[in-house]
A and B are shown apart, each in its own frame.
Chain A
């Protein structure tokens, strides 16, 4: 181990634990366990520090970063291989007292022990999680039935295993009324909850099957009568034409539709039960929805099998004129392993997918229309740099998704679930709609789902990125580790550092070469809608 200065903390290596143990005397300042060092690709002598729980972002010299890094007490990687970030970089032994004081003020240096800092993170996560839990969102499953048989579908067994046939029943108007009564009861019991409008998302199975049309319309009508409501759907888009008059700002205003490549590729993945493809049908309905002002988000599920076909889909989107609509967006997401679609080395994580797409985008600008998995993280970071009045702490995530806070999923049987990847089995429901229309909770399961935060597993509570990441998807964490209260990292550290570095470089370039006013993005653009079904 290279020691930079004898005045600095003396580190020793416990080989059995492969962990660096600090010998910082009690009461002395050490580097916080939650420091994130973001290297800037175009500015090699500068580093962006981010603090994991104070949410400070600071630019410092490489010397200061190397000094701070050398004061870290615990350097054992939480996952993956460890490589020292600033090994071998000569640095001034100690920054000025003024700099040290500022590093301490912003949280990078601390007098807390490792254990005390962990306790601090747990407290903060608890506060953030209680704020997360104050809002509700509702997912409605009109039926578990679906007309497609996609090979990677996590619910495929419901349609292919005859023993699940009874599961394919449709939601009834009577159940909808009870569900809405239960929702009102839930909200009225929580004076802290406040929403501009209720948010309903249709999910399945395939929620927008022609056969579901009547019940979907009933839900939209009855839910709208209760107050402002916004409706969206995760749909395969194959039978949208039967929902024509429900598509638009006042009813189904946003749709997520999956296309897994240009026609030839898509038609190998997204197939009907008889094996034929669905691309052309979906493509016609995409235009139908776009013309009616629906926000259409095309999701491209990607693994190594169809990665090379992404340019073909981008070209298809351009040629068909979709990219001319302001209410059109397209993004990629990695296919996750399921029993039917195991990894076998062909799956990508979000980081790998982002890197691969970035490389393609450098070679072909047409692909810039496709959003990478971390583009939203980059946009958010850029906003933080551009608008200093934003407090980054507002973005903290103590939990990964609504499954651990205020999301309620209702199925056709009146069962309530927390996570849409864990539905259809009443053994794992978090509750049900009772005969008096009130929600009856299955407390052990309810508490299990609603209590998963970054403070409930040892990896996340030690991780500098935890409050940025939320701990990752519980279902995938469980599949990987066999443990529900565990982490699913999905390359988050590298993705966060990459997004923040890109955003900061972009911000600095903007400062150095400000865009003329005529080229700046002006809020206020609206897209036009075309009424009427084609």
Chain B
């Protein structure tokens, strides 16, 4: 709302030429448009239309053997990250091939 007021004030300013005024209004409107843009932060492919296909792809990828974590020599691939509510961290989920989706990649 404040922005609208600012634009109106600029537009009504007697010291500004009509051309400058139009340019200012256009610039401010562009600025607002840019500010209001939706900027993807993660899940760039996520849309409401492709959910089923993405779930299928994720399930398929879980069946592919995963690379070993280079930090662990014990043979574990991934470590379960569900400690929050009492699930022990010993469910080494990378070996679980889809049985547990709480994977924490410890190698990065």
Contact = CB atoms under 8 A, between A and B. Distances in A.
Interface of A: 48-49, 51, 53-61, 63-64, 90-92, 95-96, 98-99, 102-107, 110, 124, 127-128, 131-137, 192-199, 201, 230, 232-234, 248-250, 253-256, 293-295, 297, 299, 326-327, 329, 331, 333-334, 336, 350, 371, 373-374, 376-377, 379-381, 383-385, 388, 390-397, 400-402, 405-407, 472-473, 476, 488, 490, 495, 504, 521, 523-527, 529
Chain B interface mostly: loop
A106 B3 contact: no
Which of the listed residues A53, A110, A134, A336 has the most CB atoms from chain B within 10 Å of its own CB?
A: A134
Contacts, number: 277
Interface of B: 1-4, 32-33, 35-49, 51-52, 54-59, 61-63, 65-66, 70-77, 79, 81-92, 94-105, 107-108
B108 A51 contact: no
Contacts of B57: 391
Contacts of A131: 55, 58-59, 62, 98, 101
A392 B102 contact: no
A384 B42 contact: yes
Contacts of B75: 197, 230, 249-250, 253
A517 to B, nearest CB: 15
Nearest to B29: A96
Contact of A331 (B44, B83, B90): B83
Contact of A124 (B45, B55, B87, B99): B55
B88 A249 contact: no
B107 to A, nearest CB: 5
B88 to A, nearest CB: 5
Nearest to A64: B36
The 6 closest A-B pairs by CB, nearest first: A135-B99, A376-B81, A131-B59, A57-B42, A253-B74, A394-B58
Nearest to B46: A56
A253 B79 CA distance: 12
A356 to B, nearest CB: 14
A74 to B, nearest CB: 18
15 contacts: A92-B32, A124-B55, A131-B59, A136-B96, A194-B97, A196-B97, A197-B95, A198-B95, A295-B74, A383-B108, A390-B42, A391-B57, A391-B58, A392-B43, A523-B107
A297 B48 CA distance: 40
Given A134-B59, A476-B85, A523-B108, A56 B52 contact: no
Contacts of B70: 523-526
Contacts of B38: 49, 58-60, 64, 99, 102-103, 106
Given A388-B42, A394-B101, 19 more contacts: A53-B51, A64-B36, A131-B58, A133-B99, A134-B97, A192-B63, A196-B95, A249-B74, A255-B90, A295-B79, A297-B88, A299-B83, A326-B71, A376-B81, A376-B84, A385-B42, A406-B96, A406-B99, A526-B71
B77 A105 contact: no
B81 A377 contact: yes
Given A230-B95, A249-B75, A401 B87 contact: yes
Nearest to B102: A397
Nearest to A385: B42
Nearest to B37: A99
